A = this chain, B = another copy of it.
Amino acid sequence: MDPAADLNAALLRAHPAAARCLSPLGRRLYFPKGIPVQSREAAGARFNATIGQLRGADGHAAPLPALAPMLQGLDPDEAFLYAPQGGLPRLRQAWARRLAARAAPQAAPSLSLPFVTGGITHALSLLADLFVGPETNVLLPDPAWDNYVHIFGTRCGARLHSYRSVGPAGLDLGALEAGLAGLEGPALVVLNLPSNPGGYAPTLDQAEQLAQLLAAQPGPLVVLLDDAYQGMVWEGGHLAQSLLHRLGALADPERLLVVSADGATKELFFFGGRVAFATFATPPAAAPALEEKLTAAIRVSVSCASSPAQAMVATALADPGLQAQRDAQHADLAARWRALRAALAAEGVEAWPFNAAFFALLPVQGDPEALRRALLADGLGVVSAGAGQNLRLSYATLQADEMAPVAAILAKRLRA
């Protein structure tokens, strides 16, 4: 009996595209009937002597007094003991409800229960474990978050390709189409909307064209949606929710696997928490096999995500005040965005279209790295990494009244 082979066969029946896209490691992964499974089986036993974690006489977590009072309003069992490999159940349920609410009024596809990871990077890295090996063609946006190249290239040794994501008129669908046409064999394409470093969300029309283009691919193809900045769109008429729902509804599992990575990192402004999720749009029959692959991958990478941060996010998601707090923070970010846009226009500093997330992308002449250093000498820190012939400016770290002096510094160095 080979448990990985059985699992792969089950996945092939339920989701041919997913099975055909598995990397060599992805094919090897299965969740063994090890300590976590045996521990769960003993949960109802009179004496549960399975797992190497301490419980007090009342059967509950017994944190040291030096740690216990630091956490307030959280269940100590959730916050101090091991979480299951896929995350705290009520956190997963809460995120699932959040995703479902966002799908409406779109046709809601079937989604797997969101799988908790230690941040968005970890979600990408686990999905890369499953689907990206040295033979995989990976199509990345350009410009892109600089870590993509290292996750998929340095780490997995994949064959990297890129497509221009945004042109002067918004999403460059022609470039994506050409990039997809050039892929051979099992492949993975990364979409990141709103984009980092571009700070761009497409129009609703463009988003629909994008979904149609992807759904028409012959595959087998994994469409990995990096939805880190989901919902953070400051301009009406642009895509404010994940493509997961629309594309998931269109995707044929014979050809396409659609999966999203999103999380509390940006959406709840909980950067250090490292709580994110991987969620598949998949027929329900394929969900158990896909979840088992993820469970196996997290068990050998970090075992499980950090419990205090999971308990915090689960509790915050149940707070009726959360939405109003996020709305206020979004209004503040939108004000910074408007102030930056006005300041750049006033100084005549050129920028790519930007309307979302935290970023503006500024095209530059000459060496971006030299310009970055020159701006640093002027008192302004920006990023050249992964930005191509551009510089990335994060306005989330600036106040609205700082945009004018920032634009003036930029103008001195960048104005044509």
Contacts and interface: CB of A to CB of B under 8 A. Distances in A.
B67 A121 contact: no
Nearest to A400: B57
A64 B325 CA distance: 7
A378 B92 CA distance: 33
Contacts of A325: 64-66
A374 interface: no
Interface in A321-367: 321-322, 325-326, 329, 333, 357-359
Nearest to A42: B381
A122 B301 contact: yes
A155 B300 contact: yes
A154 B121 CA distance: 22
Copies, count: 2
A296 interface: yes
Interface in A35-63: 35, 37-39, 41-43, 45-55, 57, 62-63
Given A45-B379, A272-B81, A301 B300 contact: no
Interface in A370-416: 372, 376, 379-386, 393-399, 402, 405-406, 409
A151 interface: yes
A57 B304 CA distance: 35
A248 interface: no
Interface of A: 24-25, 28-29, 32-35, 37-39, 41-43, 45-55, 57, 62-67, 69-74, 78-83, 118-122, 125, 129, 145-147, 150-151, 154-155, 157, 196, 266, 268-275, 296, 299-309, 312-313, 315-316, 319, 321-322, 325-326, 329, 333, 357-359, 372, 376, 379-386, 393-399, 402, 405-406, 409
